[in-house]
Chains A and B, each alone.
Chain A
Amino acid sequence: MQHDVVAIVPELMLVAAALVLLLIDPFLPAKGRRGLSWLGIMACLPAAASVWLARSQQFSTFSHGIALDGFAVFFKILLLAVAALAMLLSEKHLARNGRLLGDYYALVLLATVGMMVMASAIDLATFFVGLELMALSSYLLAGFFRHQLRSIEASLKYFLTGSFASAILLFGMALLYGLTGSTNYQQISIAIGSGSLDGHVIVIAVVLLLGGFAFKVAAAPFHGWAPDVYQGAPTPAAAFLSVGPKIAAFAAIIKFFTIMLGSEQARWVPLMIVVAIATMLIGATMALLQHDLKRMLAFSSIAHVGYLLLALIAAGQSHSNFGSSAILFYLAAYAAMNMGAFGVLVFLANSARFNDSLDEMAGLARRFPGAAGVMAVLMFSLAGIPPTAGFLAKFYLFASVVDAGYAWLAVIGVLFSVVSAFYYLRVIVYMYMREPEPEVAAVMEPGGGRSWDLSLGLGLATAVVIVLGVLPAPVLNAAQDAVAKILGS
């Protein structure tokens, strides 16, 4: 592993872009802010390119605090794509709500930097810095529409629960440090693997870490904040927040649980099984009851986290990298389909009087056939029907669970996916099989309308969903290779 500052070049690029955005924003006239999103998006491209160029080597810096290895490469490219997509979805929506500011893009970029640091941290301290950078930026993004009560409420709820989660995580990490005398993942792993440590303290540390991460990824029983935050946050920000932090948190979870606590899997796997089943149960059943689409998507994303935790159990149980690579592939598919679904809501909010309720979707196929078609593809993908990314991701994930010897968990998982098909199909029922009711249906408004970057973003997300569903091999191979290179092993 080479020691070189190259390891954080992509992060530095994003930070520089964020600072430029913050600096030039006050000097621009309102009209001049139109192109700011492209400054942010364009910053992601060289960052991704530099990550890509570094893929065959391994770099570390900050005295082994952060590493750019194959594992981090996969996550960083995914996170940069998510950030770019989030910015593509945003501009028109911000402008319509009178909040078209460079700050927004700067916050997205800074949150992304935090996520990227989380994905490539190999030291508890560095990881926590990344986590906090991501978290603080996310709280601000959730409250970005400061004139809307719901947005402020979302921000405050996110901040309070998130701070608790961070504190709990920190406590768990402190226990690990106290036990092992190191903050380095590898050394902690070696110390725990030696088997000479106090098992009770390890259990407490595991519970605290699990609790903290459960908050961050919205897993039961710490999922309660997610629906409120996604509902209240500006829709494009919700798209970003429903995907980005989860990707980063799962990168860290894989390292924490399969590497650091890999030898302790007998202690955490049973707990994780309970959490995973509870998460799927709550996500799938609560989503059935929702009438607000953003809340429905929030509970659906909770259910998806449940599936991801199943793969984590597989990753902990079996000695192959199968489970971990399933998580990576699933995250890529989930990012495209979930952000796409939020993107359609953004499109509708831009084009019409639209309050995210299911009733307003009635007859959508007649008024917005393109948006309805995209939404239908994304809903089928979220439900896991071929030929979409959602199907292959689920297939690969459940395959890893079966392979690890948990066929019964896979059966529970697929049965919940049938339950969840019901609420995804309901969206399609409203769009295609109901006639609009004039009082509630989303009506085209003058002044509303298309913005081509939003259409581009939706088109990209849909294309990714279909391509990953038909020809998944390149991404699948990348996910497997990335996991094989985790922590330089």
Chain B
Amino acid sequence: MYSFQQQVGFPILSVMTFLPTLGALAMLLLMRGRPHLYKYTALATTGATFILSLAMVWKFDQYTADFQFIEKVNWIQRLGASYHMGVDGISVLLILLTTLLSLIIIPASWNYIKDRELGFFASFLFLETGMLGTFCARDLLLFYVFWEIMLIPMYFIIGVWGGPRRVYAALKFFLFTMAGSVLMLVAIVGIAYLARPNQYAAPVFDLDQLQHAVFSFPVQMAAFLAFFIAFAIKVPMWPLHTWLPDAHVEAPTAGSVILAGVLLKMGGYGIIRFCIPLFPDAVVTAMPYILILSIIAIIYGALVSLVQKDLKKLVAYSSVSHMGFVTGGIFAFSVIGLEGALLVMFSHGLLTGALFLMVGFMYERLHTREISAMGGLASPFPVMAAFLLFFTLGSLGLPGLSGFVGEFLSLLGLFTYNKAMAVVAAAGIIMAAAYLLWMYLRVMFVETRDEKWFRLSDLNLREIASLAPLAGLAVWVGVYPDTFINIIQPSASHLINHISPYLAQHGDFLTRFFASLGGGR
């Protein structure tokens, strides 16, 4: 067992998770009324957290699928809940993404937020704790607590610092997510009590023990549906995605970046971490339906992006499309597909995060996000145009950048399973090229609409500094993905080994499924 004592000597996961909370509390309690300190405290805290996460990756043993840096103490003993933290290859990359994006959004909102800065930066720090805790928790109750904690700061971020329809968007976001997660809570309780060795024992919330529990098929199916709906809302999967465009359009830039970059990943992460190991029978049974939903999401998201007039909404709907590759890759149940799904998640965090940042920078200058109101921005803002081109190309899957690797692997996984599905999904990439390049054309080229824009400044050093690391990582993943795949590999193949007996048992369900659709041939 890889305990934190052996690996680093101090509880690195807890320190990393709660450092932002400490920073936020320090701000709230000690620095009230000294606004000049807020930004620097937030920057220092997220910076330190990022460095800790780098140290964690450095010390991470990438030759094992075991959980590492394990911390475990009793929490609510009689309820069988423990404070159990640990990471494997699946969570490490997402943690890195979280700490990186949390760091980047602080300088990105340096001058943007003028009202109630204290609450703004404190919210983001609390949010970071929630996100990191969610990725580290190895106890279902603990996971649920962190999962729900994320709602509160995000609700405030959208509702207080958002656009004109912010209250509606914030409420919709909160209630959608909560409706999904309370059902998951009932399922968590249900399986925790069914997994008891006898009826006098405490319930089992610990994932290490739950993984060995075997549930009957109806229980698996019910619990799987409850979990899956909660995660599918977060992903978001078509047709549960309707909160996403509202939340993105109304959220402040930094909120959109975190929402797209990290919060959407929670859905995919939850499916990989909980649904597959806990409910293998149900997952395999649901596989074809979910694959079909994923492909609908890919095509639907792309088609809707094509007709968006608002730049931010376009990026938001493109997320629905990209996330289709995540669920598609996961539910293809091959090592390649799973690795692809995780890389899509990572790269989507980088590229879409960067695109939202860019939309924010453009809005700060032009005070509009309407595509039709822009045009010819390349002449007044050449640096901005270069960066936008870079991230646009990355997002549409240009080989050599991160978007390509993930989507390619995800499609490969899908292809080995069912060729027709892979072909349809690949059409999504072509459509991505269409809506993204067309957007770029309308925004950056044609004639410059407003002469005043020439008097505005191009991206400044602070803004470039927040985009550059994302661009650098996107190139790294695109050119040499092995660095990242090696981290994922052991955990991914461990998971696929776990599920493959069930797959074999069910046979090629999809073939039977289509045969039944075709009518008794």
Contacts and interface: CB of A to CB of B under 8 A. Distances in A.
Asked if chains A and B come from one complex, the reply is: yes
Interface of A: 320, 365, 380, 385-387, 391, 395-396, 398-399, 402-403, 407, 410-411, 414-415, 417-418, 421-422, 425, 428-429, 432-434, 472-473, 476-477, 480
Contacts of B293: none
Contact of B159 (A391, A410, A429): A429
26 contacts: A385-B151, A386-B149, A387-B149, A395-B189, A396-B79, A398-B185, A399-B192, A399-B203, A402-B186, A402-B193, A407-B190, A414-B183, A415-B179, A418-B179, A421-B174, A421-B175, A425-B175, A429-B171, A432-B159, A472-B76, A473-B75, A473-B76, A473-B77, A476-B79, A477-B78, A480-B78
A402 B189 contact: yes
Interface string B140-171: 01001100110110011001100000110011
Contacts, number: 85
A365 B156 CA distance: 12
A386 B148 contact: yes
A407 B178 contact: no
Contacts of A403: 189, 193
Indicate the member of A386, A411, A432, A472 with the most B CB atoms within 10 Å. Answer: A386
Interface in B174-221: 174-175, 178-179, 182-183, 185-186, 189-190, 192-193, 199, 203
Contacts of A386: 144-145, 148-149
Interface of B: 75-79, 116, 141, 144-145, 148-149, 151-152, 155-156, 159-160, 166-167, 170-171, 174-175, 178-179, 182-183, 185-186, 189-190, 192-193, 199, 203
Contacts of B167: 429, 433-434
A477 to B, nearest CB: 6
Given A422-B175, A432-B156, 9 more contacts: A399-B192, A414-B183, A414-B186, A415-B182, A421-B175, A421-B178, A429-B171, A472-B76, A473-B77
B450 to A, nearest CB: 32
Contact of A476 (B76, B148, B185): B76
A216 to B, nearest CB: 29
A476 B160 CA distance: 36
Indicate the member of A320, A422, A473 with the most B CB atoms within 10 Å. Answer: A473
Contacts of A428: 155, 159
Nearest to B151: A385
Contacts of A411: 183, 186
Indicate the member of B116, B145, B156 with the most A CB atoms within 10 Å. Answer: B145
A68 to B, nearest CB: 25
A414 B144 CA distance: 15
Contacts of A391: 145, 148
Contacts of B116: 365
B239 to A, nearest CB: 19
A397 B269 CA distance: 28
A425 B174 contact: yes
A477 B78 CA distance: 7
A425 B178 CA distance: 12
Contacts of A477: 78
B80 to A, nearest CB: 10
A488 B342 CA distance: 58
A432 B149 CA distance: 18
A113 B341 CA distance: 63
A476 B141 CA distance: 16
Contacts of A425: 155, 171, 174-175
Nearest to A407: B190
Closest 8 CB pairs of A and B: A414-B182, A386-B145, A399-B189, A433-B159, A402-B189, A386-B148, A418-B179, A403-B193
Contacts of B190: 402, 407
Contacts of B183: 411, 414
Contacts of A418: 175, 178-179, 182
A244 B156 CA distance: 33
A166 B439 CA distance: 72
Contacts of A476: 76, 78-79
A476 B78 CA distance: 8
Contacts of B175: 418, 421-422, 425
A387 B152 CA distance: 10
A473 B199 CA distance: 21
Contact of A433 (B166, B178, B179, B189): B166
Contacts of B78: 473, 476-477, 480
A385 B152 contact: yes
Contacts of A415: 179, 182
